[in-house]
Amino acid sequence: TDLRAFARAMPKAELHLHLEGTLEPELKFALAARNGIALAEKTVEDVVASYDFTDLTSFLAVYYPAMTVLQTADDFHDLAWAYLQKAREQGVVHVEMFFDPQAHTSRGVPFADVIAGYRRAVVRAQDELGVSAELILCFLRDFTAEHAMSTLMEALPYRAWIIGVGLDSDERGNPPAKFAEVFARAKAEGFFTTMHCDIDQPGSIEHIRQVIEEIGVDRIDHGTNIVEDPALVAVARERGLGFTTCPVSNSFVTEEMKADEIVQLLREGVRVTVNSDDPAYFGGYVADNYIALAEHADLSAADLARLAINSFEAAWLTPARRAAYI
C-alpha cells in the first residue's frame, strides 16, 4: 500500500541496532567457510529453524554461539557493510550501531580487530552510500562491572570512532546501578550514554528509574514499561529523553509488539522512536518495524513522520547536522 511505500522511503535514523544481530544465515555460512569453522547447521533452513526463541534468555542462547564465525577485521567489516547497504534500502540516512566487544574479546578476538573492521564499514558507508554511521560500544551486563571498566579503558585509544556506550544482554539480576561507576567514567570521557531496559523484566520500573535518576542516561533502549509510572513518564517527556523501541523484536521476546505502550508514549509527546534491534534474527529491518507497528496500531502517515522526526531529535547529532535532516 501507499503507507508501506511511505514508511520505506521516509528518511529516518536508526538508533537501536546490534551489529551482531544483523548476521544473516547466508553470511554466517560464508564466514564459517572462510574461517574453516564447522557449523552444526547444514542449510539456511537449518539455521532459521534454530531461531527458536520465546524470550530473552532463549534468544541470547542462540545469539552468542553464532558469533564464533566472526574472527577477523574483514569479517566485522563484511557484517557491518551488509547491514549498512540494507539500511540504505530502508530509508536510513543516519545510524548509531551497537557492537558487543566483550562477546569477541572473551573468545580471544582482539578489540583492535573488531573496531578496525567496523570502522572501515562506517567510513565506506559515508563514502559510497551517503549514510552517516556511528558506533556505540555496548557492555554485557551479565559480565562484571570490572570487565566493563577494563573494556572501556581498552576503547579509549579509539574514542574518536565511538560516539557512546550502552548496556545490553541479560538484565535479570544485573540492574543499571551495577554499572554506575563505569557509566560515570564514560561520561567523564565524553561519551554519550544509553542503557537497555528490556520489556517486562523483573524490576523493570525500578531499573528505568535508576537509568533516569541515578545514571542520567542520554537515551533509553526499549523502556516502554515506563507507562506503569505516569510521574516518571512526565519526567522523561520534560527532559526530551529518547526511547528506542523495537516492535518486531518485542513480539519475539514477549508475546506481543507492545504497540499500546509505544503509541501511548507517542500520543503523550514522549520522544519515542522505532528501530530493528536484531533484524537478522527477528526478520524485520527498520522500515519493516514502522510498517508492522502502523498496521497493528492503525497509525497514519503523519504518525510515521513524527516517529522519524523523533529519530533525528533523539540521535546524537550536532544541532547543525540535526537541522539538515528535520
Binding region for substrate: 278
Q: Pick out residues in 59-118 that bind ligand ES4 (CB under 6 A).
A: 59
What DSSP line would sit under 122-184, residue for residue? HHHIIIII--EEEEEEEEETTS-HHHHHHHHHHHGGGGGGEEEEEEES--TT--GGGGHHHHH
Compare residues 66 and 84 and give the one whose CB is closer to ligand ES4: 66
Choice from 194, 201, 204, 249 touching ligand ES4 (CB under 6 A):
249
Task: Compute the distance between CA of residue 215 and CA of residue 176 in angstroms, rounded to an integer.
Answer: 8
Using CB under 6 A as the binding rule, whether residue 287 contacts ligand ES4 is answered as: no
Q: Which residues are annotated as a binding site for Zn(2+)?
A: 16, 18, 196, 277
| C-alpha cell, 192 | 554519550
Q: Which of 93, 212, 205, 84 is nearest to 195 (CA)?
A: 212
| C-alpha cell, 63 | 545469539
Compare residues 261 and 277 and give the one whose CB is closer to Zn ion: 277
- Interacting residues toward Zn ion by CB under 5 A: 277
What ranges in 189-285 are assigned the alpha helix state H? 204-209, 230-239, 247-253, 259-267, 279-282
Using CB under 6 A as the binding rule, whether residue 224 contacts ligand ES4 is answered as: no
Q: Nearest residue to ligand ES4, using CB?
A: 168
- Shortest Cβ 6–ligand ES4 spacing (Å): 27
Compare residues 169 and 311 and give the one whose CB is closer to ligand ES4: 169
Choice from 16, 21, 91, 275 touching ligand ES4 (CB under 6 A):
21
Task: Compute the distance between CA of residue 275 and CA of residue 286 in angstroms, rounded to an integer.
Answer: 5
Q: Pick out residues in 255-284 that bind ligand ES4 (CB under 6 A).
A: 277-278
Site string for ligand ES4, 24-63 (x = CB under 6 A): --------------------------------x--x----
- Shortest Cβ 259–ligand ES4 spacing (Å): 17
Choice from 14, 78, 168, 303 touching ligand ES4 (CB under 6 A):
168
Task: Compute the distance between CA of residue 52 and CA of residue 67 in angstroms, rounded to an integer.
Answer: 17
Task: Return the one option of Zn ion, ligand ES4, none that residue 75 interacts with (CB less than 5 to 8 A, by type).
Answer: none
Q: Which of 195, 192, 124, 187 is nearest to 163 (CA)?
A: 192
- Shortest Cβ 167–ligand ES4 spacing (Å): 9
Please report where in the chains the cell 522526526 appears, as a residue: 309
Using CB under 6 A as the binding rule, whether residue 18 contacts ligand ES4 is answered as: yes
Compare residues 58 and 85 and give the one whose CB is closer to ligand ES4: 58
282, 248 contact by CB (below 8 A) = yes
Task: Return the one option of Zn ion, ligand ES4, none that residue 253 interacts with (CB less than 5 to 8 A, by type).
Answer: ligand ES4
The dihedral sign for the CA sequence 201, 239, 6, 95: negative
Using CB under 6 A as the binding rule, whether residue 14 contacts ligand ES4 is answered as: no
106, 89 contact by CB (below 8 A) = no
Task: Return the one option of ligand ES4, Zn ion, none that residue 169 interacts with (CB less than 5 to 8 A, by type).
Answer: ligand ES4
Residues forming a β-bridge with 138: 166
Task: Compute the distance between CA of residue 291 and CA of residue 302 in angstroms, rounded to an integer.
Answer: 13
CA triple 197-92-200, angle to 5 deg: 15
Interacting residue ranges for ligand ES4, rule: CB under 6 A: 18, 21, 56, 59, 168-169, 196, 198, 249, 253, 277-278
